Structure 1
Amino acid sequence: MTITIRRAGPLDARPLAELLNEVIAAGGTTAMTRTVDAADLRDWMTRCPDRTAWHLAEDDAGEIMGVQWIEPADDLPDEVAEIATFARHGRTGLGIGSALFRETERAASALGYRWINANIRADNMGGLAYYQSRGFEDCGMKRDVPLGNGQAVDKVLKRYEL
């Protein structure tokens, strides 16, 4: 299987929402607890267009296998991008995340960011391993972060210097 990475745009919002909802429904790896729709994704993509980069991974048949984006975060300095990464449920370990990150790293530098922050659920072993394997280093912890469903989780903060 060949993975192709390309910029995601508003026309990709519906299949990206489907991918995210699949991950949300599986539970345990994302802080997101409510389903999203195409309008949500279009809003996210356009809320800060000059400081945001969205990439998706497709297989040979054009099925979206993963998505990764960076954007500024209200609680971080301007030189920091917050990252989010999602791979289709059951399709991890195929190089999707590695391919996405190569493009995201280039985009982050081109947008003028100096480092990337990952905010990962402490119980998301796959996510922690993924960011560690990309060279992210632990830089903090948030305890008892409430999720939308009332559950509280710890979050590990990881930093990647560009």
Structure 2
Amino acid sequence: MLIRTATEADLPGVLEIHAHAVARSTAIFTEVPPDLQGRRDWLAAHSEPGRSAIVAVEGDLVVGYGSVGPFHAKPGYRHTVENSVYVREGHQGRGTGRALMESLIASSREAGHHVMVALVEAGNEGSARLHRSLGFEDAGLLREVGTKFGRWLDLRYMTLRLDDAPADPPPDRPSPTDRGGGEAAQRPSGAAAKPPAPAPRGARPAQSDEWPSCREGPFSRGG
């Protein structure tokens, strides 16, 4: 078995694994069948600096794949990444998931990331055991935050500290308000901020964008 960077030629095999996980498991909180263009978009997104997309291959067969990407789009989360690992049906229990995870952890450390997060469907004990064996710690359980196959699903958060030395984070990047582009910078000194306009009667509150996406949770089945 060889672990290497994913390429365009690997995407049909990646799609087969991903489609099986969507159709037959609760690892991914969707029942919408994926397509090849979606996998092309996935590869392009994970080819950017600080991200990675890898495959496990046996001969010409993709037997697993994994990726590391941002945990959240907000800049304050920029030192934290999220992993996803999937293993082809019939190839679990052979060390494929572990090999993929070890490669992702090593490359994330080399890239200078601080924490890796795994979002694991709570019923996937194989994946939870694999992550714990690699040093991940349980960081919380969100109950009934997902649904699939007609039932509620719980989501387990697991985290791994990637760097050893305790240190303060690097200085924050300037925000738009620091550059004079925000509302606070445009107000006269001492002026109070304008309160937000009240929502129309009966309107639902807007959904916050502060919560991380969990479209693709880890799926290793302990493999």
Q: Same fold (TM over 0.5)?
A: yes
Task: Identify, as 1 or 2, the structure richer in helix.
Answer: 1
Q: Secondary structure at the match of 2:140?
A: strand
CA RMSD of aligned residues (A): 1.9
Q: CA deviation at 1:11?
A: 2.8
Q: 2:98 and 2:72 mapped to 1: Cα distance? A: 27
Alignment of 1:128 onto 2:128: yes
Q: 1:6 and 1:144 mapped to 2: Cα distance? A: 36
Residue 27 of structure 1 corresponds to which residue in structure 2? Answer: 25
- CA change 1:74–1:147 in 2 (3 A) is farther
> Structure 1: any 5+ residue segments left out of the alignment?
none
Q: 1:13 and 1:37 mapped to 2: Cα distance? A: 10
Q: 2:2 and 2:50 mapped to 1: Cα distance? A: 23
Q: CA deviation at 1:64?
A: 0.8
Deviates more, 1:47-56 or 1:84-93: 47-56
Residue 78 of structure 2 corresponds to which residue in structure 1? Answer: 78
Q: 1:155 and 1:93 mapped to 2: Cα distance? A: 23
Residue 57 of structure 2 corresponds to which residue in structure 1? Answer: 58
- Which letter does structure 2 place at the counterpart of 1:47? A
> Structure 2: any 5+ residue segments left out of the alignment?
163-223
Q: 1:157 and 1:135 mapped to 2: Cα distance? A: 13
Q: 1:32 and 1:70 mapped to 2: Cα distance? A: 20
TM-score normalised to structure 2 length: 0.65
Asked whether the equivalents of residues 118 and 158 of structure 1 are also in contact (C-alpha less than 8 Å), the reply is yes
Aligned residue pairs, count? 159
Asked whether the equivalents of residues 71 and 117 of structure 2 are also in contact (C-alpha less than 8 Å), the reply is no
Q: CA deviation at 1:110?
A: 2.4
Asked whether the equivalents of residues 45 and 52 of structure 1 are also in contact (C-alpha less than 8 Å), the reply is no
Q: 1:148 and 1:39 mapped to 2: Cα distance? A: 24
Residue 101 of structure 1 corresponds to which residue in structure 2? Answer: 101
Identity %: 23
Q: 2:72 and 2:26 mapped to 1: Cα distance? A: 25
TM-score normalised to structure 1 length: 0.88
Give a deviation string over 1:56-82, Cα, whole Å, max 9, x none.
1011x2211111111002267111110
